[in-house]
Structure 1
């Protein structure tokens, strides 16, 4: 009898009960429709206080629930799930999945095809997440040639693309790669950036890292979501009120912020291989960023706006998003003049 690869989803959650309920409903229904044994779901609940645990226990009895105390963050929760998938479930493929997405109707079918084919046992496969309003716009994928894959047309000639790094929203990892490369680094990058660092490590070990448009999902991506991934100095320029700027400064030392100094320092090419990074590196990074913020207000407006326009072209969002981002700056400036 042919051995069917064991597939384990790993979903880190915390205080997003409605999102968690939605993704589990989609997954359990599709798995049931496929009638394929060996597909499991692991949820790592990192200290939710909104009834997430009780909801899972009551409505999704087939889900393997791992409880934590709120100290894991994303990377710690992912590692807990990966360890359980390998040691308890003997999974052959581990699938990272965020809970705030809606998977396509053929998602599980396509995932099973990838895992059962035998062609990806040495390849990490990343999916793509599209915006629910602008359905051709890819809002989460990763980087290829140091640029984001941001439009579905990127897959016009092939269902797959080579990747530099992957976002952790949808990632399929063969067990054999985990056994050689290890787990995400929960110490250096406990939250943001851990997915990027892990895919870099996988590539350095000689394995393929690719995007597949066969693993698709969507999400409600807001203008605020878009702007918070822009370089901090651009956010500083676009949000000139003191409260917003103070939030940006605080974000430099917050694990919740996607551009904190730990991420910036540890993902720098000179530091990725270092086990210990001197504290002064982080201090220098912090001071450097703050100085850049202060300088922005004194640089020629044409120069700043040109840099922002170049960034927006590279990110390739819909025209309406570009207009909304620029309009926020215009409105803010008008408010200051009133």
Structure 2
């Protein structure tokens, strides 16, 4: 209990969130396999989008980083460490490490490109001959979660940079012939309200998953949600304590699934069926096929299975494909009925 009270700011427990199963599943699967490519959460105002995203970050196990490294470099994985750390390893320097909570970085709507990517101090480079880099939000988000609320209102140019870094796992800053590159492997989570406009189809397609959330209509469930929130606001620590066992159980499931993921297999016939569905739905490119395969394996690992089954595909495929059907920016996103119809026809054969 004392350990909990040491937190600077209590976070609403993920397992205490009622409803919104689609959003919760999409977030959990991205934590199991960050290569799914993030999640776009669209829904009404006041449906707990931000609360849920902060809750999943708080739930995750701590990560080991090289002490005092601004990029949260991994002490052993070359893909997740900065050039400086690599040089230290090659020079046989004994690195100190520490455990930190998974970084959760908010990107404010008014952020500039420099704030996002970081800046190079040209004066220092010219006068002293040293590369001086002021890290941006992409550096802080390495190995964590980058959350963009109202992503549909963000400048398209910044969304492009975000998606490029999320896909490649690297951020490169170039200025006056000086170039600095650092790891930026993060789960990109965007949220927004459809009333304020959709993202362009080209940008939307680059989010791995698309979760839709609606305001709960059932009065009994609404009362339950209101009471749960009131209880947390009144005494957050006893609420955190109440859900402690469930939180630990879910955390353990995610850790086991992360380890199990590499050994999960998906039958060739099922891969063909996934691609057949993408073809019938006229999904452009192969991102839909790749993400569905990844998500199905992550869901199977989460269920502690060794092999993907048809039900695993049915559970995730709508989340992976519904936002890839828009060809015209003026179209609305399919809620899933079109995907479900084709999935049912093909997977029932």
**TM class, shorter-length:** under 0.3
Report 1 or 2 for greater relative contact order, CA contacts < 8 Å, sequence distance ≥ 6. 2
Q: Which has the higher strand share?
A: 1
TM-score by length of 1: 0.25
